[in-house]
Structure 1
Amino acid sequence: MTTVQEIAAVRYGIWVLCPAVGAAAVWGLKLAARWITTLGWFPFQGVFELVTDIPEPWATVAALAVGALVGGVFALFWAAEMMTVEISHDRVTLRKDDKTFDFGRNEVESAFADGKQLVLLSPDGAELARETSDLSKARLERAFTGQGYRWRDGDPFANDFRMWVEHAPDLAADVNALFTARRKAISKYENEEAAELAREIRKRGVYVKDEKKRQYYRCER
């Protein structure tokens, strides 16, 4: 079996790097707080005025703690976007954000990378999965071909995708409703919610991808 995942330095380093960067950033703002209060146009003036009133060393302690907490939250979101791909002669398993997507060898006809998304296709052209990650395309290609799977240079159905519009006439009402909800999630940068809605749409035989915040779809043949 071949496993493709982020290198250990990234998987574990984010839990140190992100809080450290967050703490340093907020500490820097704390140092600049008094100067910022002289800039009438700068937002959140009340917050910076409050910071200047906090005595030391509590102001520094609070700044470092808040910054580390913010950095930790960012690391949490980053970790949720990481994906592990396990490929064997018998099956392909994707693990992401406590979710597991498992496919037998006979289910997977081919795989390819569409931007930052790994796509698995079935023998009849259905999309089994379309998941976003920062995994190297070259590493994925080597892993799939090394286990005897077909790796495509691109999406063979790229020309079948069309841009989604409100109440698309060739889509069922419930599918259009899911697209509407997904558009809202995308506008709010709720990436996991958008991904989950895409999976729900896929269950209905419609495959979705995004380009510049626009949703495109193709229907099951």
Structure 2
Amino acid sequence: MSSENPPPKVTTAKPAPTTVGPTTGERAVLWAGFPVLGAVALWLISRAAGWVASLPWAPLQGPFKLVASAPEPLVSIIALAVGLLLGAGLALLADLEYVTAEIGPERAVLTVDKVTRTAPRAATAAVFQDGKNLVLLGHDTAELARVHGDFDTKRFAAAFEQHGYPWHPDGDPHAADFRRWVTGQPDLSTTEHTLLQARARALKKNEKADAEQLRAELATLGLVVREDKQKGQHWRRVRATQDRPGAQPESR
């Protein structure tokens, strides 16, 4: 009797995660350009110090007179050095604004300003750009992640689509559900109004950390909140489900 060997099992390898973010060239331009521009700008200001000091209506007369009276090449050396340092500081701040991501078949890991958020692929129902924000929504329409920063929309869209995420090129599929917040709306609770009022004050004072913390507190109550260019707040309720997977900051 002859025995037949069972057919070999076919295993399909999952695609490797895609890393997306600023290119090496973009970062090189950033880190080279800002310090050079800072050095040139401060050197030009030092060259014009004597002229500015001669204008009776010009502000900061004392500092400009001090610079104009200092000997060369000391003034130029100091101006170039300080300009380089200021430019490097601006480059660092700009670099922190870049959004980077590792997008794979099981999860998307998003990082900006040293804060990391993770959204499971199975829990993600929509991905889209909202101004300078990259937003991932769950199946209950709650936000799994909202990261604010600089990112190349086409590269991020391609990476998400490559791994089967539902990218929405036209933006938020639930945009029509948002309502502008005003005090006294009867379909909001006292607690929700209180948090929205506190967030309005934080936005007015440009207190970003407080505004984001209050956004998270409103999310626990089932409210999705965003603001317009005039810092007016708009809200909508999430759909009620028993399972609401979310994404929390992992590390700073």
Normalised-by-shorter TM-score class: 0.7 to 0.9
Residues 59, 201 of structure 1: alpha-carbon distance in 2 compared, 3 angstrom cutoff: farther
Of 28-37 and 158-167, more deviation after overlay is shown by 158-167
Amino acid at match of 1:37: A
- Correspondence for 1:217: 234
The alpha-carbon deviation at position 220 of structure 1 amounts to 2.7
* Residues in 1 aligned to 2:150 and 2:183: alpha-carbon distance in whole angstroms: 31
State which structure, 1 or 2, has the greater radius of gyration over its C-alpha atoms: 2
Give the direction of change, closer, same or farther, for the CA distance of 1:15–1:104 in structure 2 (3 Å limit).
same
Q: Offset of 1:55 from its aligned partner?
A: 1.5
Match of 1:180 in 2: 201
Distance 2:56 2:178 in 1: 50
Q: 1:17 to 1:148 in 2, by over 3 A?
A: same
Write the mapping of 1:40-189 to structure 2, written as runs, cut at 5 A.
40-152=56-168, 153-165=170-182, 170=188, 171-185=192-206
Task: Assess if the C-alpha contact under 8 Å between 2:35 and 2:86 holds in 1.
Answer: yes
Higher RCO by CA contacts (8 Å cutoff, separation 6 or greater):
2
Aligned to 1:21: 37
SS at match of 2:206: helix
Residues 165, 21 of structure 1: alpha-carbon distance in 2 compared, 3 angstrom cutoff: farther
| Corresponding letter in the other structure for 2:177 | D
Letter aligned with residue 56 of structure 2: G
Task: Call closer, same or farther: CA 1:168–1:17 in 2, change over 3 Å.
Answer: farther
CA deviation profile, 1:26-64 (whole Å, cap 9, x unmatched): 000001111112223332222211111212222112211
Structure 2: any 5+ residue segments left out of the alignment? 1-16, 239-252
Q: Secondary structure at the match of 2:72?
A: coil
Contact 2:195/2:218 (8 A) holds in 1: no
Q: Distance in 1 between matches of 2:66 and 2:184?
A: 50
Q: Is the 8 A contact 2:21 2:152 kept in 1?
A: no
What's the CA shift for 1:204? 4.4
Matched with 1:38 is 54
Aligned-pair distance for 1:6?
0.8
Question: Which of 225, 228, 235 pairs up with 1:208?
Answer: 225
Q: Distance in 2 between matches of 1:196 and 1:64?
A: 40
Q: Is the 8 A contact 2:202 2:210 kept in 1?
A: no
Deviations 1:194-221 (A, max 9, x none): 5565445444433333322323221333
Work out whether 1:6 is the aligned partner of 2:22.
yes
For residues 51-93 of structure 1, the C-alpha deviation after alignment (integer angstroms, 9 at most, x for no partner) is 1121222211221122112212211210121110211110011
- Deviation (angstroms), 1:163: 3.2
Which shifted more, 160-169 or 9-18?
A: 160-169
Please tell me the residue identity of whatever aligns with 1:211. D
Q: Which has the higher helix share?
A: 1
TM-score, normalising length from structure 1?
Answer: 0.86
Q: Deviation of residue 110 (structure 1)? A: 1.4
CA change 1:199–1:12 in 2 (3 A) is: farther
| Unaligned ranges ≥5, structure 1 | none
Across the two proteins, how many residue pairs are aligned to each other? 217
Distance 1:179 1:203 in 2: 18
Contact map agreement 1:121 1:128 (CA 8 A) in 2: yes
